[in-house]
Structure 1
Amino acid sequence: MRLGQLRAALVLTSALLALPAMADTTKATPTSKELIAKSKPAEWRTPDPENLLYMQLPQGRVVIELAPDFTPLHAQNIRTLVREHYFDGLAIIRVQDNFVTQWGDPNDDDNGDKSKIKPLGTAKPKLAPEYTRSIDPKLPWTALPDGDVYAPQVGFSEGFPVARDPAKGREWLVHCYGMVGVARDVAPDSGSGSSLYTVIGQAPRQIDRNLAIAGRVIEGMPYLSALPRGTGPLGFYTQAAQRTPILSVKVAADLPASQRENLQVLRTDSATFAAIVEAKRNRRDAFYTLPAGKIGLCSIDVPVRTETSAEAKH
């Protein structure tokens, strides 16, 4: 063996010896439930009640966590609308299969009675399009290792799915299941937060960076995803009787503590979340005989639980 070949062989051997031991592929990977049961209290965060919205439907309560670090203007405007009872008495106006559920003023629809549109009060009718923001190195960031079709990097920040373009120094929230976006007209600044939607189907990532995303549903998603589909264009309801009324929307901070949901969200910069991601990437049990070895951003649910519960809701 030549000297150069010997050196190369020694380098390769040293690298292999430095690798961690191979995982036992015959052993089933732990489930999210099992990993969460072993999590530590410090790995969970309690959302700021100022950023939580309670939307009461006849079927039950939907809890939305706003994302003011990514869309601060929209978060503030939505709080103003809620505190001035704008959404109370409005309705779910659109349910498009495999796309979104949307709520707001039925009279603001194309077929509505424009003379009866509910006034916005002191909320702003137009906002700057907060589609992306500068990457903030101070915010927690957990990158996924498997790449993405729509962005150079993807991962999680503060419990929200985020895409990044480091070359341009920009990051943005993405349209995964349960994310809450701001409906608008054609003009980029025409969205105020008076009409909102949540993704109820496969992630429509093609509309990322074309609409502002204000937050995500962290409880009560079935109340929005299981509604009858609209039969009009784009899933809009054609008759008033088809719409689900919104009884009220409130900011959690405005309610007594006894009336708040004691929800906790698993920190996406925690060891338990990293273990959940890896378990989902390489799932092996009696059913999954061939692990994928990869996972997409929108295939990961961030666990949510009640403060006194040892089990996550997702």
Structure 2
Amino acid sequence: MNKLLSIASLAALAVSAPALAQETEKTEYPSPNAIVDTAPARDWVKISPSDLLVMDLAPDAEGNARRVVIQLMPKPFSQGWIRNIRKLAAAHWWDGTSINRVQDNYVVQWGDAGYDNPESGETEQKALPEGLEIMTDRQYEMIQQPVALIKLPQNMVKAREDQRGDGYATWVRHKQGWPIGSGRFSQWPIHCYGAVGVGRNLSPDTGSGAELYTVIGHAPRHLDRNIAVVGRVIEGIEHLSSLPRGKGQLGFYEDASKRVPITSIRLGEALAEDPSPAFEYLDTESEAFAQYADARANRRDPFFIKPAGGADICNIPVPVRRVSGE
């Protein structure tokens, strides 16, 4: 491992040396938001409507609509669960279910209220569509050839800004627009704020995808490789993070009236709307993203006094923006 870290460190020096030379000549630095705002159009990647999961909740107490938009993980990660999620959405399975768990600084969970909360007295489970796949816990990560035999991507070095490694992975990087952890023989999606995962019972159960949750607190990285990450919330997280906390065990609502009804969950391509919601993310292999990641790790804009010199992978969220639909 030390040898690999040395290789990464040398690569980081090679990448950062020109920037350091330039910094001696500059007195002002753009903020991360400024870098994102000026990123050229070529550095943005359109998200396919088929990769959007759109959840509409019942209106709030003032009658305001509440919509949460989720981007599903790309291949090769978590695809068995995602195929199930597509089937569940097509079957309108989530219509009439609810948000039934809100645990402070942890997660919001939705699905069949009786599934994971037998203490509520509800033992009925909503019948699932036929043909759902069953996954094993080995599918929480993707097996790969030894990293020592792979050329380290420049993006991986830049994501590991402080070169001290990561408490939960040997390497961390952004890949295809997502935060990814890697070891010598495997790689896996990371639980950052807004990540969407699959609820399950004790192993060997890995969950079907019918019970989902999103992170609303400090990144619970201990869940990495223990639960399937299937996506992330890209719009409307405030409709989940601001909900009253459940008073029952693990944040489940003991009072059924506190649950938030789900009116529908559809794939973006199935919405009867014109135009349908459209989004794009900043390409994590682009120069604009490299500058953005550096700015997140080394804040030099006027508010900051001392640059941190590093950033947790979850503190470099991939910029996503809404665009005009076609």
Instruction: Give TM-score scaled by structure 1 length.
Output: 0.86
For residues 7-156 of structure 1, the aligned pairs below 5 Å read: 19-20=17-18, 21-24=21-24, 27-57=27-57, 58=59, 59-69=65-75, 70-108=77-115, 109-112=117-120, 116-124=124-132, 126-129=134-137, 130-135=139-144, 142-143=155-156, 144-145=159-160, 146=162, 147-156=165-174
> Which of 156, 163, 171 is the equivalent residue of 2:181?
163
Number of residue pairs matched by the alignment: 290
C-alpha separation between the residues in 1 aligned to 2:46 and 2:307? Answer: 33
Residue 141 (structure 1) shift: 8.1
What's the offset of the Cα at 1:98? 0.5
> Residues 286, 306 of structure 1: CA spacing in aligned structure 2 closer, same or farther, 3 A cutoff?
same
> For residue 195 of structure 1, what is the aligned residue in structure 2?
211
Contact 2:190 2:224 in 1 (8 A): yes
Structure 1 pair 187–218 and aligned structure 2 pair: CA distance change class (3 A):
same
Is contact 1:63–1:220 with CA below 8 Å preserved after alignment?
A: yes
CA contact (8 A) 2:80 2:133 kept: no
CA distance in 2, matches of 1:62, 1:24: 44
Q: Which residue of 2 aligns with 1:233?
A: 249
AA at the equivalent of 1:127: M
Match of 2:10 in 1: none
Contact 1:87 1:249 in 2 (8 A): yes
Aligned-residue offset at 1:252: 0.8
**Is this contact kept in 1: 2:206–2:227, CA < 8 A?**
no
Report the Cα distance in structure 2 between the residues aligned to 1:19 and 1:49, rounded to whole angstroms: 41
User: What do you get for the CA RMSD once the two structures are aligned?
Assistant: 2.4
Contact 1:52 1:65 in 2 (8 A): yes
Q: TM-score, normalised to structure 2's length?
A: 0.83
- Among residues 298, 301, 318, which one is paired with 1:285 in the alignment? 301
**What's the % identity of the aligned pairs?**
40
Structure label with greater radius of gyration: 1
Change (3 A) 1:283 1:82: same
Q: Are 1:176 and 2:192 matched, yes or no?
A: yes
Distance 1:161 1:219 in 2: 18
What's the secondary structure of 2:81's corresponding residue?
helix
Mean Cα deviation higher: 178-187 or 42-51? 42-51
For 1:301-312, list aligned pairs within 5 A.
301-308=317-324
Deviation per CA, 1:118-175, whole angstroms, max 9, x where unpaired? 10022527432321013498xx98311232111100011121110001x22x000011
Of 254, 267, 292, which aligns to 1:251? 267
**Shift in Å, 1:33:** 2.5
Amino acid across the alignment from 1:185: N
Shift of 1:300: 1.2
Q: Show CA shifts across 1:168-216 (max 9, x none).
A: 2x00001100000001000233400010000100011111111111111
- Unaligned 5+ residue runs, structure 1? 1-14, 310-314
Conserved 8 A contact 1:55-1:62: yes
Instruction: Measure the CA separation in 2 of the matches of 1:164 and 1:296.
Output: 15
